[in-house]
Amino acid sequence: MSSLLEIRETIKQFYCKNEVYVNPILKFLAALVALLMINASMGYMEVLNSAVIVLVVALMCSFMPRNFVVLISALFVLMHTYALSMECAIVVLAVFVLMFLLYFRFTPKDTKIVLLTPLLFVVKIPYVMPVAVGLLGGPISIIAVSCGVVVRFMIRFMKDNFATFSAEDAQTGSQKFRLMIDGILDNKAMLVTIIVFAVTTILVYTIRRLSADHAWSIAIMVGIACNAVLLLVCEFLLDLNLSVLEILLGNVVALFVCQVIRLMEFNVDYGRTETVQFEDDEYYYYVKAVPKNTVAVSEKKVKRINKQQKNKTVKPVKKVSTIKTAHGVSRTTASKVEDRNKQ
Amino acid sequence: MINEERVRLMTRMAAYEENEFRKHKAVVGFFRADYISLQVVKTVISTTIAYAILLGLYIMYDFEKFMKDIYQMDMVSFIKTVAILYLVMLGIFLLVTYALSLYRYNRSLQSTKLYYGNLKKLSHLYGEEE
């Protein structure tokens, strides 16, 4: 445990020292991962699949504001969709614009959740998202998670119906358009996922705000259990074509990831909890103070030994003590000796 | 000699200046009513565009059927329904915008007041030292 805390402190210190370099690198990596994942799961436009373009765009993102990564990712999705079918691109563009106008205009900080949710779906651990949002955010962020889920299911629907959308003469434009909208609105698995994630987020948020001991750990466990149980029940009742093994394994990994988040964000020592009670003119106060776990990072000292220093005879340092001079001014014995030498 | 209280105060103020001061200053630059009005106008525009997109998607969903029915349908009742739905949507978003912008304005005002208070305190600390 203490070694984990030490790692956390080291990371913090490293970030504080090198913030100027770390931020662009992190943005570059985030953009790179996002764009590569989008290309891997869509990849309908050949030009965008080029490694050079991905690298250049990711590099550009590293010098731009954080939300630029989200904007570029949305643009990539849109262009891939356009390469597949123009009707799909119109629907995707409409969905993105609606998301921006109706929600992200108010809370621009939540845009990263929309980007992260589909990416976590790609690596099969989307169950991290509702729990993490419940721990670190508020219930209003459910809308952002839901938007992320919609984007993910939209992309998957296009992938599943690739043959239908790419065939030029098989269907008319309006039929493709209708199919795409139906694919979004009549998607049972998407609706169930949105509802389950919303319930989980509210549950986690409510529990972690309690003043009970180990509230965060309990919130994580209850959240993960709720996620897994609700999804499995819905899968058995509604036959959503979700993989049971994926749900179980994904939730186990999510539990681990959420514990790491807890360690980084909320690490307290309940053993040293203090309960104090006091009053002023207007109120009685019942205060519970839980101390944070902190560990001092041991600093590495590098001792340089070179030849010159070895050959030099090191004089013993004189003990410095103050003496009174004739004028009443304090001086040190060391400086007095120095004065004598000068004379 | 380093004045610890002064350093603490300056660090806190520098962190605030770095992160949120610019945003809060832009908000507090308006009178409360003006700020809320501006947000309301923005919401009216964005909600109108969003509603137009939704309506467009609805019509495009079954465009051929819509074009066939357009001469037979009761246009007045159709327009009335469209207008009522628009007003309901606009009303909901205006309420949210009003509450949110009021909250944000008050929070920004409080934070900037605290910042200027700290600035005064800092000036006193310098004065005391001299």
Looking at the complex, does the CB of residue A86 fall below 8 Å from at least one CB of chain B?
A: no
Chain A (6-65) residues lying within 8 Å, Cβ to Cβ, of chain B: none
Mutant choice from A101, A179, A181, A184 vs B, greatest count of B C-beta within 10 A: A101
Question: What is the domain count for chain B?
Answer: 1
CA pair distance A120, A149, nearest whole angstrom? 10
CB contact under 8 A, B42 and A105: yes
What does the pLDDT average to over B62-75?
82
Determine the Cα–Cα distance for residues A33 and A23; give it in Å rounded to an integer.
15
Average pLDDT over residues B77-97: 94
Q: CA-to-CA distance for A160 and B60, rounded, in angstroms?
A: 23
pLDDT band at A297 (very low <50, low <70, confident <90, very high): low
What does the mean pLDDT of chain A come to?
83
Residues of B within 8 A of A171 (CB-CB) are: none
HSE-CB for B72 with a 13 A CA cutoff: 5
Task: Flag if A181 and B63 touch (Cβ within 8 Å).
Answer: no
> In whole angstroms, what is the distance from residue B37 CA to residue B98 CA?
9
Best mutation target, B61, B63, B95, B96, to test chain A (most A CBs within 10 A):
B61
Distances (CA, A) of A316 to A75, A162, A323: 70, 82, 20
Cβ distance of A102 and B57 shorter than 8 Å? no
Contacts of B62 in chain A (CB under 8 A): 174, 178
One-letter amino acid at B50 equals A
Question: Which of the residue ranges A44-48, A226-230, B15-19 would you say has the lowest mean pLDDT?
Answer: B15-19
Residue A308 pLDDT exceeds 70: no
Query: How does pLDDT run across A143-199, given as a tens digit for each residue?
Result: 999 999 999 999 999 988 888 888 776 567 778 888 889 888 888 899 999 999 999
Asked whether the predicted pLDDT for residue B69 surpasses 80, the reply is: yes
Helix, strand, or coil (residue A285)? strand
Nearest Cβ partner of A174 from B47, B64, B96? B64
Supply the pLDDT for residue A324.
Answer: 43
Q: Do B49 and A97 touch (CB under 8 A)?
A: yes
pLDDT of residue A293: 78
Q: How far is CA A120 from CA A124, A209, B29, in A?
A: 6, 26, 41
Residue A321 has pLDDT above 70, yes or no: no
pLDDT digits (tens, 9 = 90+) for A322-341: 444 444 444 444 444 445 55
- Report pLDDT for A335: 47
The residues with which A322 forms a beta bridge, in sequence order, are A332
Q: Where are the domains of chain A?
A: 2-269
Tell me the count of A-B CB pairs closer than 8 A. Answer: 34
Q: Do B61 and A177 touch (CB under 8 A)?
A: yes
Using an 8 Å CB-CB cutoff, list residues of chain B that contact chain A: 42, 46-47, 49-50, 53-54, 56-57, 60-64, 93, 96-97, 100
pLDDT (tens digit per residue) in A10-32: 888 888 888 889 999 999 999 99
Torsion angles phi and psi, residue A275, rounded to 5 = -115, 120
Determine whether the interchain pair B46/A91 forms a contact, defined as Cβ–Cβ distance below 8 Å. no
Using one digit for the tens of pLDDT, what is the confidence trace for A37-84? Answer: 999 988 888 889 899 999 999 999 998 988 899 999 999 999 999 998
Is A177 an interface residue toward B (CB < 8 Å)? yes
| Average pLDDT estimate for A213-240 | 91
Q: Which residues of A touch B63 (CB under 8 A)?
A: 174
Min CA distance, B53 vs chain A (Å)?
A: 7
pLDDT of residue A171: 65
Sign of the dihedral defined by the CA atoms of residues A228, A230, A234, A240, in that order? negative
- Tell me how close the Cα of A295 comes to any Cα of chain B, in angstroms: 22
pLDDT range class, residue A343, cuts 50, 70, 90: very low
Q: Which of A90, A105, A174 is nearest residue B46 as measured by Cβ atoms?
A: A105
Q: Is the pLDDT of residue A124 over 60?
A: yes
Buried b (16+ CB within 10 A) or exposed e, A28-66: bebbbebbebbbebbebbeebbeeeebeebbeebbeeee
Cβ-Cβ contacts under 8 Å, B42 against chain A: 105
Mean pLDDT, chain B, rounded, equals 88
Cβ-Cβ contacts under 8 Å, B47 against chain A? 101-102
The pLDDT, as a whole number, for residue B1 is 63
Q: Show the domain range for B46.
A: 4-129
Average pLDDT over residues B15-43: 88
Say how many residues make up chain B: 130
**Are B60 and A102 inside 8 Å of each other by CB?**
no
The more confident residue out of A103 and A93 is A93
Positive or negative, the CA dihedral B113, B115, B121, B127 is negative
- The pLDDT value given to residue B86: 95
Strand ranges (E), B9-89:
none
pLDDT in tens, A246-296: 999 999 999 999 998 988 888 788 888 888 888 877 788 888 888 887 776
Burial class (CB in 10 A: 0-12, 13-18, 19+), A2: exposed
On chain A, the residues whose CB falls within 8 A of the CB of B46 are 101-102, 105
Res B61 pLDDT > 90: no
A3-7, A108-112, B92-96 — most confident range: B92-96
Residue A82, Cβ density class (10 Å: 0-12 exposed, 13-18 middle, ≥19 buried)? middle
Out of A102, A177, A181, the one facing B50 most closely (by C-beta) is: A102
From chain A, pick out residues whose CB is under 8 angstroms from the CB of B100. Answer: 106
B101 Cβ contact partners less than 8 Å away, ≥ 6 residues apart: B35, B36, B39, B40
